[in-house]
Structure 1
Amino acid sequence: MTLQNKPTKDESEWWVYLIITESERIYTGIATDTDRRFQEHLATYEGRGKKGAKFFRGHKPLNIIYQEPALSRAEATRREMDIKKLPRTKKWALAYPES
């Protein structure tokens, strides 16, 4: 797939995202609405909800540092797995390419 065929934020149904935590850990996930998902993770950390990932019970999410559109849930899941296999430095380079 070329960059020209990548969906825009308004067109994409699925997203792969990275969240940085207060302890500077990087979490990788997928969602249809990254803002809503971030709030679910934050609520889990604060003990106000249980819809966020268990990871956030002990790690306070600070910001979404990277988002990438996907054409389907399957594509998003494959990309999520690829990103999870990357070393921290490469994940950081996705979010901050000029660093």
Structure 2
Amino acid sequence: MSAQPALLTIWSLYLIRDKDNRLYTGITTDVQRRLAQHQAGTGARNLRGRTPLSLHWHTAIGDRSQALKAEYRLKQWPKSRKELLPQHPEWIESLTTC
């Protein structure tokens, strides 16, 4: 009997806007679940008490390693560029290439 291949878990990169119009960057395997956690105050510490929150943007990114690298790169961007990301899906490539 051979071992079953591991199922690939797809990770997503997301941006959440808080009540003060700040953008929070994160990664997850389930964007809606993670947004609900942030809304409930059980997610990232720096979003606690900053409700209402809204999902600004998200995309599937690949495996966890790729997601972590893309998250790091996106956090380096100025807010003005993050604001435009939903209108420029081609920019995602710059987050995922080495």
Report TM bin, short chain: 0.7 to 0.9
Is the CA contact 1:22–1:60 (under 8 Å) kept in the aligned structure 2? yes
RMSD over aligned Cα atoms: 1.6
Q: In the superposition, relative to structure 1, how do residues 12 and 91 fare at CA in structure 2: closer, same or farther (>3 Å)?
A: farther
Runs of 4+ in 1 over 6 A off after TM superposition: none
Within 5 A, what are the aligned runs for 1:24-39? 24-39=21-36
1:76 aligns with 2:73: no
More displaced, 27-36 or 64-73? Answer: 64-73
- Return 5+ residue gaps in structure 1 as ranges: 1-10, 45-49
Larger radius of gyration: 2
Is the CA contact 1:17–1:28 (under 8 Å) kept in the aligned structure 2? yes
Question: Matches of 2:11 and 2:40 in 1, distance apart?
Answer: 22
Letter of the structure 1 residue corresponding to residue 34 of structure 2: R
Within 5 A, what are the aligned runs for 1:53-68? 53-68=44-59
Q: How many residues align?
A: 81
Question: Matches of 2:77 and 2:17 in 1, distance apart?
Answer: 15
Is the CA contact 1:12–1:70 (under 8 Å) kept in the aligned structure 2? no
